[in-house]
Amino acid sequence: MPEIKLEAERKFALVEKVRGYLSKEFDLEVGGFEAEFFIDFLAKEMGTGFYNQGLHDAQVIVSSKLEDISDAIYEIEKPVD
- 32-73 pLDDT, tens digit per residue, is 999 999 999 999 999 999 999 999 999 999 999 999 999 999
CA distance 20 to 59: 34
The answer to whether position 2 is within a domain reads: no
Give the model's pLDDT for residue 25.
98
Residue 17, pLDDT above cutoff 80:
yes
In this structure, which amino acid lies at residue 29? E
Write out the residue range of the structural domain in which residue 42 sits: 8-76
Amino acid at 80: V
Asked if residue 81 is part of any domain, the answer here is no
pLDDT tens-digit series, residues 38-47: 999 999 999 9
pTM of the entire predicted model: 0.72
pLDDT (0 to 100) of residue 4: 83
27: left (phi over 0), alpha (psi -120 to 50) or beta: left
If one counts the domains in the chain, the total is 1
